[in-house]
Amino acid sequence: MNKITTMLTAIMFFSTMVHATEFKAGTYLGTSDGYKGEIKVEVKLGKNKIEDIKIIKNGDTPIISDSALNILPSKILNLQGLGVDTVAGATGTSKGFISAVTKAIKSSGADTSELRKIKETKKQFSNKVINHENDVVIVGAGGAGLIAAIEAKLAGANVIIIEKMSFPGGNTLISGAEYAAPENWIQKKVGISDSKEQFYKDIIKGGDNQADINLIKVLADNALDGALWLRDFVNVSFEDRQMFFGGHSVERSLVPEGASGVELIGKLLKKAKDLNIPIVYNMNANELILDNTGKVIGVQAVSETETNKYLAKNGVILATGGFGSNLEMRMKYNTAMDENILSTNTTGITGDGIVMAEKIGAGVTDMEYIQTYPTCDPMTGALLYIGDVRLIGGSILVNKEGKRFVEELDRRDVISMAIKKQTGNVAYQFWNQEMMDLSKVAEHHSDEYNSLIKRKVLIKGNTIEEVAKAFDVDATELKNTVQKYNQYSKDGKDLEFNKRGKLTAFENGPFYLMKNVPAVHHTMGGLTIDTNARVLDNNKKPIPGLFAAGEVTGDIHGTNRLGSNAISDITVFGRVAGKNVVNN
């Protein structure tokens, strides 16, 4: 370091450590809204220093929000300022946290505007290229990537996972992670008869005969085995109940503890850690590396500061998820999926694996089939766990006119299309306290519940009139609708929409009404693969060294994926890819 740079560094260091603000020393609390829930902090101020920041409450999704909350407090303390960058993918949590800290400092009487001007310096990108050597490189630390990594490691390979976000889990993490498995242990316990063949038929029908029958056979035949592997080897804890997802002919969806992807991803991460599988975060893969025979021998990725070449002796597995967060790509394949439609996806789900593989000649299929989830948050597009009350058969959907308009357990695309035809393109989901208690959704997801109530997306009231009035829904008609439905429940037959499953009446209040819109959820299209999870080129020939699993692949769900089949898919094909990359 020469003299000038030493001086500059000293000045920069000095300017970041001392600022004009003088504090009234003490401990102050601040609260703000995160992405889904509330964030509360305790800030300790000395006379000239922000001394400590403690997070008292975090109502956002664990793992994603941790990626922000694990680093932002120390960044503010090091900077002694509030001009820190938000963490990509956890922007809502980051903003909520910074706002809570700001409020706490403000409550001390200090002027925070000067603190906001003290900003982080950006890191420089260098020309450095770093080589890494492994047997297997997995791109994406979502559900399929973690599962594939575990199997590849168990098969004896030296494995590394690279992940472009600062957190793992992808869309799997924010899903309910329910798992469709025919002939499962709960079905046996409660006496539901089911079979692999029936599951196979449901997938074909649910995807309008567009799925690849060989791939579905692998999925149907191995779904139960995958669930047992998750339960008994990965130690995923499942609840003692099932959910009834739309389009399935029987109730067959297993529910991980808390009905959230956090249990599944949390346990997969633990297993990956126990097996010493490294995960490199903030590492964005952007190009596959080929040898001169056309074999994939690695992948290039960029971090904030340099280029990395991850070489793979056995091969690369793409597990980058779909493209629900890539508006341009969505519209390239399906113009209806425009900016007016929100998305349930995490921000990293931008189709990178599809683009990288297509560049080296991989085939793609079904790209125009983009599924919207029918009952999302009208403000953010987020998947709502509270809405899962529908999947135990416990709610009805009505329109502004107070009338039902669709079978509530029909396919997601059918319900979404029906909602789009209603006044204001919205649906209102109605249920009562008995269903709320039975589904346990408010108990499991109390932060989401509180946020929905606070934002008036969900209304609780003692009478049907009260909840209807809040959304200007026709109260008289809603009362008629509920009365009719209660009668169907008594008669055991829904004469209007032939709703499957058990019909349960809404006799007593309190009642709930929630405003919902469809949002982009799952992209059915993707890379063509064979039953060994090998990526195929345009002539349906395997590309040596390249594998793929999960939402990045196409042909498994046809035009429309049935609810809870994604977790079965990532488990079955993640395992296939992880084993075959080592033994191909």
Residues serving a catalytic function are 412
Judged by CB under 6 A, the residue of 93, 166, 172, 481 near ligand ADP is 172
Question: CA-to-CA distance for 190 and 502, rounded, in angstroms?
Answer: 14
Smallest gap from residue 153 Cβ to ligand ADP (A): 17
Number of helices followed by number of strands (H, E) in the chain: 20, 21
Q: Which is nearer to ligand ADP, 406 or 552 (CB)?
A: 552
Question: CA-to-CA distance for 93 and 570, rounded, in angstroms?
Answer: 28
Question: CA-to-CA distance for 287 and 97, rounded, in angstroms?
Answer: 35
Smallest gap from residue 356 Cβ to ligand ADP (A): 7
Residue 241's alpha-carbon distances to 29, 186, 245, 393, in angstroms, are 41, 7, 13, 13
Q: Which is nearer to ligand ADP, 162 or 262 (CB)?
A: 162
Q: Is 285 in the site for ligand ADP (CB under 6 A)?
A: yes
Smallest gap from residue 132 Cβ to ligand ADP (A): 14
Judged by CB under 6 A, the residue of 170, 374, 563, 578 near ligand ADP is 170
- Give the three-class secondary structure for 300: strand
Smallest gap from residue 346 Cβ to ligand ADP (A): 7
- Interacting positions 383-402 with ligand ADP (CB under 6 A): none
The encoded tokens of residue 301 equal 């990725």
* Contact between residue 243 and residue 502 where contact means Cβ atoms under 8 Å apart: no
Any idea what the Cα angle at residue 576 is, between residues 232 and 315, rounded to 5°?
Answer: 125
The encoded tokens of residue 374 equal 């029918």
Size of the site for ligand ADP (CB under 6 A): 26
Q: Is 348 in the site for ligand ADP (CB under 6 A)?
A: yes
- Interacting positions 492-531 with ligand ADP (CB under 6 A): none
- Interacting positions 200-219 with ligand ADP (CB under 6 A): none
The amino acid at 365: T
Q: Which is nearer to ligand ADP, 264 or 478 (CB)?
A: 264
Helix axes of 565-583 and 143-154: crossing angle, nearest 10 degrees: 30
Decide: residue 423, CB within 10 A, 0-12 exposed, 13-18 middle, 19+ buried.
exposed
Question: CA-to-CA distance for 204 and 201, rounded, in angstroms?
Answer: 5
Smallest gap from residue 566 Cβ to ligand ADP (A): 6
User: Taking contact as CB under 6 A, which single stretch among the options 3-11, 73-81, 371-379, 546-554 is the one that binds ligand ADP?
Assistant: 546-554
- Give the three-class secondary structure for 365: strand
User: Taking contact as CB under 6 A, which single stretch among the options 102-110, 400-408, 425-433, 549-557 is the one that binds ligand ADP?
Assistant: 549-557
Question: CA-to-CA distance for 373 and 521, rounded, in angstroms?
Answer: 5
What region, left, alpha or beta, does residue 112 occupy, with left being phi > 0 and alpha being psi -120 to 50 degrees?
alpha
Smallest gap from residue 355 Cβ to ligand ADP (A): 9
Q: Is 269 in the site for ligand ADP (CB under 6 A)?
A: no
Question: CA-to-CA distance for 136 and 316, rounded, in angstroms?
Answer: 6
Neighbours of 238 (CB within 10 A): 21
- Give the three-class secondary structure for 68: helix
- Interacting positions 110-169 with ligand ADP (CB under 6 A): 139-145, 162-165
The encoded tokens of residue 77 equal 């303390």
Q: Which is nearer to ligand ADP, 333 or 471 (CB)?
A: 333
Q: H/E element holding 572?
A: helix 565-583
The amino acid at 85: D
| Selection from 379, 352, 373 nearest residue 552 by Cα | 352
Smallest gap from residue 494 Cβ to ligand ADP (A): 34
The amino acid at 381: G
Q: Which is nearer to ligand ADP, 348 or 518 (CB)?
A: 348
Judged by CB under 6 A, the residue of 67, 93, 102, 171 near ligand ADP is 171
Helix axes of 213-232 and 565-583: crossing angle, nearest 10 degrees: 90
Smallest gap from residue 325 Cβ to ligand ADP (A): 9
Q: Is 352 in the site for ligand ADP (CB under 6 A)?
A: yes
Q: Which is nearer to ligand ADP, 172 or 253 (CB)?
A: 172
Smallest gap from residue 520 Cβ to ligand ADP (A): 13
* Contact between residue 569 and residue 219 where contact means Cβ atoms under 8 Å apart: yes
| Selection from 327, 318, 301, 315 nearest residue 364 by Cα | 318
The encoded tokens of residue 451 equal 């946020």
Q: Which is nearer to ligand ADP, 50 or 349 (CB)?
A: 349
Judged by CB under 6 A, the residue of 203, 383, 570, 577 near ligand ADP is 570
Q: Is 468 in the site for ligand ADP (CB under 6 A)?
A: no
Smallest gap from residue 480 Cβ to ligand ADP (A): 42
- Give the three-class secondary structure for 152: helix
Pattern 306-345, binding to ligand ADP, x per CB under 6 A? -------------xxx------------------------
Q: Is 284 in the site for ligand ADP (CB under 6 A)?
A: yes
Q: Is 564 in the site for ligand ADP (CB under 6 A)?
A: no
Q: Is 561 in the site for ligand ADP (CB under 6 A)?
A: no
Q: Is 550 in the site for ligand ADP (CB under 6 A)?
A: yes
Q: Is 177 in the site for ligand ADP (CB under 6 A)?
A: no
Q: Which is nearer to ligand ADP, 9 or 305 (CB)?
A: 305
Q: Which is nearer to ligand ADP, 436 or 548 (CB)?
A: 548
Q: Which is nearer to ligand ADP, 170 or 182 (CB)?
A: 170
61-89 burial: b if 16+ Cβ within 10 Å, else e: bebbbbbbbeebbebbeebbbbebebbbb
Q: Is 33 in the site for ligand ADP (CB under 6 A)?
A: no
Residues of this chain that interact with ligand ADP (CB under 6 A) are 139-145, 162-165, 170-172, 284-285, 319-321, 348-349, 352, 550-552, 570
